[in-house]
Amino acid sequence: MLVMNEFRESYETMQHALLELVDTVNAHHRGGVDFGTGHRLHPAEIHTIATIGDEPQITVTQLAERLSVSKPTISERIGKLMKKGLVEKGIKPYDAKAVTLLLTKTGWTAYTHHEAHHDKMFDVFVSQYGEKSEIMAQKLSQALHEMQNLAELFDCHND
């Protein structure tokens, strides 16, 4: 067992590494990423497109729930994506009151480029960890979820 000072140092190193990872990811997405459409899309926008692509005919309410954002936030985001020609609204055939969301041809281009981006990230992960990839992914996922739960218990604004 590590003595407390060594443990504290290990904890600080882990926390620093996590913050560096977040900064690196944010730097790669600063200004948005062009997923083959000529439009620079921020993570929230491309993940909105991805969710619509994964669930054709999704409603605004369902989309807001899936992405854990408010309906006004998702409505504003959809408006921006519509102006970029990536998303369009439709009507459910069996419920004329239900407005659904669909990807345009350009939206599908962004969707497929985003999927290819994730495939490439997966391939790099597997090439790094080899046969330990699945176990590593499970351990990292569990650790990050646990850290998220801890972060929710600690309110930095009440110091």
Closest CA to 81 of 107, 100, 60: 107
pLDDT value, residue 27: 87
Closest CA to 58 of 44, 48, 45, 73: 48
What ranges do the domains of the chain cover? 31-150
pLDDT value, residue 156: 59
Q: What stretches in the chain show pLDDT beneath 70?
A: 1-2, 95-96, 155-159
pLDDT value, residue 155: 64
pLDDT value, residue 2: 57
Q: Which CATH architecture has domain 31-150?
A: Orthogonal Bundle (1.10)
87 φ, ψ (degrees, to nearest 5): -135, 150
Q: Please name the helix (run of DSSP H) or strand (run of DSSP E) that holds residue 99, with its range, or none.
A: strand 95-103
pLDDT value, residue 107: 98
Closest CA to 118 of 47, 48, 58: 47
Residues ≥6 apart with Cβ < 8 Å to 31: 40
pLDDT per position as a tens digit, 41-83: 999 999 999 999 999 889 999 999 999 999 999 999 999 999 9
pLDDT value, residue 158: 54
